[in-house]
Amino acid sequence: MTPEPVPSDPSDVGRWALITGATAGIGAAFAQRLATDGWHLVLVARDRTRLAAQAAELTGRYGVQTEVLTADLSTDDGCELVEERLAADPSVELLVNNAGISLNTSFLRSSVADETRLLQLNVHAVMRLTLAALKMMTERRSGAVINVSSVAGFGALMPGSTYSASKAWVINFSESVGQAARPFGVRVMALCPGYTRTEFHQRAGIDMSKTPEWMWLSAPAVVDDALRDLGKGKFISVPSWKYKLAVVGLRHAPRRLLELVARDTRGRIGRDRG
């Protein structure tokens, strides 16, 4: 039996990583951790001022090279810009698809424009950038892709939310593509955190004031677990034992029980990550 190719180690020094939604939350935590490990970084988000400040800080503190790409990944032009960057330099060893959006309204009161934007960012952009990265990674026979999903992808606990459906797609997509890429020495993994201390819920207008403190994770801890699971070759990473148990419940609990605990915590203000 032919041994499976050994994938590259994400802690190797001198490699490049590209991170979308890099200016805050989990994306910023990935940038911080990878810079600490000596990775050079391509940082992608919509806010150029914030990106430039982040890049300067990481370069000054850790001595790594940084590039800034201002792109709205809910648009074709934004995706094309990042695709071109991936194609232009095959040295990118790690892609982190972190940018995403949650809507502040139920599907019953939503619009085609808002729902299309969610799908473009949460699904379409993830597909396009993953494909662009895998073309060079499989040829080189090394590299990795982390697609940031959510525990919400394992169950519909917020009535009328299409966010959870988009994240379910990311999980299924990443696991399937990961199986295809593995023989080429390339890893693809879905990262599925639970409630994490970031700007995400505030930007999305979701009221988390009643969420118990013990349910919250820190973004750096989520990133540590993700990179550990990536090194183990996992297709799906669920940080923290408490959310591992939650996923078991979401997968196996009676649907009627899940319907009883489902609730809508969204408010009026809705923006996005990245």
70 forms beta bridges with 45
61 exposure class (CB count in 10 Å sphere: 0-12, 13-18, 19+): exposed
User: Could you say which of 62, 163, 195, 243 is catalytic?
Assistant: 163
Could you tell me which residues come within 8 angstroms of residue 212 by beta carbon, excluding any fewer than 6 positions away?
Answer: none
CA dihedral 235, 240, 242, 244 (to 10 degrees): 10
Which segments within 112-157 are labelled E, that is strand?
Answer: 143-148
Rounded Cα distance between 196 and 215, Å, is: 8
Rounded Cα distance between 205 and 59, Å, is: 33
Which letter does DSSP use for residue 206 in this model? B
DSSP per-residue letters across 37-63: TT-EEEEEES-HHHHHHHHHHHHHHH-
- Tell me whether residue 62 is one of the annotated catalytic residues: no
Rounded Cα distance between 224 and 239, Å, is: 9
Catalytic residues: 163
